[in-house]
Amino acid sequence: MEKRDKRSRHLAAISLAIMGVGFLAMIPFQDSLIGKLLMGGFEAGLVGGLADWFAVTALFRHPMGIPIPHTALLPKNRDKVTRALINMLENDWLTKESIMEKFKQIHILDKIFETVEKELHSESVKNSIQAFSLDVVKKIDVERFAPTIEQEIKGFLLSADASAFLQKASSHILSKEYDSAAFDYVLQETEKWASQPEAKMVLGKLGKQAIDTTEADGLLKFAIQSFSNMITEEKVGNILQSFILKRMKNLQQDDNRYRHMILDKIRKELGNLNDREALMAEIQTWKNKMVEEMDLTRQIKDVLSKAKDRGIAFIEKDSFVDDTVTPVVKKFIEEIKADNEKVTAIESWIHAKIAGLIERNHSKIGKLVRENLDKLDTETLIDMMENNVGKDLQWIRVNGAVCGFLIGIGLTIFKLLVM
């Protein structure tokens, strides 16, 4: 660019020099017809070239350094030129409306999706996602989160209504007939225990003690003492063991009336739990006390630490991004693309945000232009302008010389014809 500008400047100077040399060279030959024609042409070309040189130079600086009035127009009017340029940019070329209209023609969401889908498979993006995920997980402060989580858990448990929970539990037990199963389990376990030799010994011992310690008067006392002398702990144990085992067997039968009486009583008690306000209040108090005395911090820290370690190991796998992140992102994009209403809503939201940014920052275009122009001194700015439009300006000088030369020849012919 600089070389081409220098060539155009040299060409303008050469054209002016040719006109001057030609004018001087034709002075001795001005008596001949050809001499008069060429001298008139060179004279007019010299005047035209000098006039255009003066005009072009006057735009940027004082011709020959002489402060002639109405020269060096651009340096003198730099502030006006800057304001005019800013005004033209803001109000003619880059208006808010024109910028917004251009943005409305761009499907920004499609461009975003296209870029994401393309870059998601690049190694640099994969490494960045993996590094970012690792950084996030590693920065999780287990010590800091554990007390907060414990407080939340306790708050939830304290606010929970024990009566409502018990009512739901009892309703579920009754609907699934867990009461009958539980009753059978108790009977079976009791039967297992009672059938053991150790149980017979315990029952015999307890039965014999009960007989020996029974208080009575008169004939009843005599009868009890006589019976106690005749029976041993082993016999009492056999009697009680046999009695219990038989009753356990009977109570396990579906048609046993005592079984139905006991189950009916159990079901009635379970169904009326909420009516027992004192019991519910006591259970609620017991529950709150137990929750308040719980110390879950250590257990929560252990759980969080293990979860953190597992998360780090999972993210460090080479397949983490391809197997976990990429499918999620693609599915998210496909779901949005399939919903035209959602796409329209997101596009409208993006355009609204852009419109807000343009509205708030449009004036900064002019400020940015002014700041950049103010950073340049006048001489540098003039040089930049000359380098960008200098070629055309230098051709004005060349054209002035050439046109002047042709016009001079024409005027000389006209004078010869008239005179």
Query: What distance in Å separates the CA atoms of residue 203 and residue 197, rounded to the nearest whole number?
Result: 10
pLDDT class for 10, splitting at 50, 70, 90?
Answer: low
Q: Token pair for residue 386? A: 């000359």
Lowest mean pLDDT among 16-20, 85-89, 302-306: 85-89
The predicted model gives 37-66 an average pLDDT of: 71
pLDDT of residue 310: 93
Model pTM?
0.46
Instruction: Identify the residue whose tokens are 């019991």.
Output: 279
Average pLDDT over residues 378-396: 63
The total of other beta-carbon atoms located within 10 Å of residue 386's CB is 19
pLDDT (0 to 100) of residue 4? 46
Q: How many CA atoms lie within 13 A of 208 on its CB side?
A: 17
Q: Which of 136, 121, 128 shows the shortest CA–CA distance to 326?
A: 121
What pLDDT, on the 0 to 100 scale, is given for residue 234?
Answer: 82
Which of 65-69, 234-238, 345-349 is the least confident region? 65-69
When mean pLDDT is compared across 55-64, 141-150, 247-256, 301-310, the lowest value belongs to 55-64
**In this structure, what token pair is assigned to residue 42?**
């060179």
Token duo for residue 326: 């990429």
Decide if pLDDT at 270 tops 60.
yes
Half-sphere exposure of 244 (CA within 13 A, CB side): 22
Q: Are 408 and 42 contacting, i.e. CB atoms less than 8 angstroms apart?
A: yes
DSSP SS3 for 145:
helix
Mean predicted confidence (pLDDT) in 117-133: 88
More confidently predicted of 258 and 219: 258
Q: Report whether 79 contacts 93 (CB < 8 A).
A: no
Query: Half-sphere exposure of 284 toward its Cβ, with a 13 Å CA cutoff?
Result: 17
Q: What is the pLDDT of residue 238?
A: 85
Measure Cα distances from 267 to 181, 186, 188, 273, 282 in Å: 13, 16, 20, 10, 21
Amino acid (1-letter code) at residue 388:
N
C-alpha radius of gyration, the chain, whole number: 54
Q: Is the pLDDT of residue 228 over 80?
A: no
pLDDT tens readout for residues 317-363: 988 988 889 899 889 888 888 888 888 888 888 888 887 877 777 67
pLDDT higher for 10 or 241?
241
CB-based burial label for 56 (10 Å; 0-12, 13-18, 19+): buried
Contact 370, 95 (CB under 8 A): no
Q: Which residue type occupies 54?
A: F
Q: Identify residue 106 by its one-letter amino acid code.
A: I
Confidence bin at 314 (pLDDT 50/70/90): very high
